[in-house]
Amino acid sequence: METTADYCIGIDLGGTSIKMGLFEISGKLLDKWNIDTNKAENGKNILSDIISSLNLQLCKLKIEPSKIKGIGIGIPGPVTGDGFVPVSVNLGWVNVPVKEQLKLLTDIPVKVGNDAKVAALGEMWQGSGKGYKNLVMITLGTGIGGGVIIDEKIVPGFYGAAGEIGHMPINQDELESCNCGKKGCLEQEASATGIVREAKKLLERATFKSLLDNEKNLTAYKVFEAAKAGDLLANQVIERAAKYLGIAMACITGVIDPDVFILGGGVSEAGQILLDQVKKYYKENVLFLSKETQIKLAALKNDAGIYGAARMVLE
């Protein structure tokens, strides 16, 4: 006899911890919990840890596995079509057939995706992108990642490299090299790392005082705090990062003209001060037709991954 599948599971598999969430099909988060990521022996127990924890939790909550429509899982690394992960540095994985291995551990259907792309889907489902079908999420952290959603579906890219916003060649005058080996990637100019680099550069040659003078352990967070307090140098740093972000976003619009941009990740927590500058430079650089594109801050923060993973199940 067929039972209705009322729930779905979203899992955000990170290098330190694994976030898991139980959702109603409607998008309501009912329960969430974490387990540690066991990276011993190249992370060979990670998948069985996940299923053990899931079974235990379902048992506690008195939910039959047959009521679960599927398990979605976001992985920190590239994922090919069939749920195969060629490499995940953060997990110590090489050539792990995630979907295939999970099939041996559970009868519940599984979907696997890249974590940044999955987070974009989460924001579309229940975050700042709710109500939109085409969006680009830009995750501003130590690096810059992204996810592109067209027609409510993740765009994976031929080589799995769609949404690699951080490596768009944006600054042709850049002299230093990016981690990827190229020069002038967006990530160099607008990531947390890039913001700190630029602040240090300006501090070295500044002829005026800054709240950041004598700061030994400079972080992007401190730059934003100084900017909010009115510091001139910190504001110059943020304006420069916003300029390159605005240019990159105008380029993105030239390709897919999305309904909305969503800015997430640690750097985006700077909030309005960053958003205002990004909007200014986006408008300056984009074709007039698209000047009013919505640009929003992410809403789901650290939960975007579990939301998006659960949403994959409903595709």
Phi and psi at residue 148, in whole multiples of 5°?
-120, 125
List the beta bridge partners of residue 264: 139
Q: What whole-number distance in Å separates Cα of residue 272 and Cα of residue 96?
A: 41
Please identify, among the stretches 8-16, 25-33, 149-157, 262-270, the one whose residues bind a second copy according to the rule CB under 8 A.
149-157
Report the nearest approach of a second copy to the CB of residue 44 (Å).
Answer: 26
Q: Of the candidates 54, 170, 234, 270, which one interacts with a second copy according to CB under 8 A?
A: 170
The stretch among 104-112, 230-238, 256-264, 272-280 that binds a second copy (CB under 8 A) is: 256-264
The window from 18-26, 146-154, 195-203, 204-212 that contacts a second copy (CB under 8 A) reads 146-154
> Please, where are the H alpha helices in the chain?
40-43, 46-60, 98-105, 115-126, 186-190, 192-205, 220-228, 232-256, 272-285, 304-312
**Nearest one of 212, 43, 34, 249 to 138, comparing CA atoms:** 249
Residue with smaller CB distance to a second copy, 58 or 186: 186
Tell me: does residue 164 bind a second copy (CB under 8 A). yes
Quick one: DSSP state of residue 237? H
88 binds a second copy (CB under 8 A): no
Work out whether strand 93-96 and strand 144-150 pair parallel, antiparallel, or are unpaired.
unpaired
Stretch that binds a second copy, among 29-37, 115-123, 164-172, 190-198 (CB under 8 A): 164-172
**In residues, how long is the chain?**
315
Q: Is 277 in the site for a second copy (CB under 8 A)?
A: no
Closest C-alpha among 301, 244, 252, 255 to residue 278: 244
Q: Does 169 bind a second copy (CB under 8 A)?
A: yes
The residue within the footprint of a second copy, chosen from 20, 102, 245, 252 (CB under 8 A), is 252
- Residue reference for tokens 């840890």: 49
C-beta closer to a second copy: residue 208 or 288 = 288
Q: Least separation, in Å, of the C-beta of 182 and a second copy?
A: 7
CA angle 229, 191, 85 (to 5 degrees): 145
Selected range binding a second copy among 27-35, 227-235, 272-280, 288-296, rule: CB under 8 A: 288-296
* Chain residues that interact with a second copy, rule: CB under 8 A: 78, 134, 136, 148, 150-151, 153, 155-173, 180-182, 247-248, 250-259, 284-290, 293
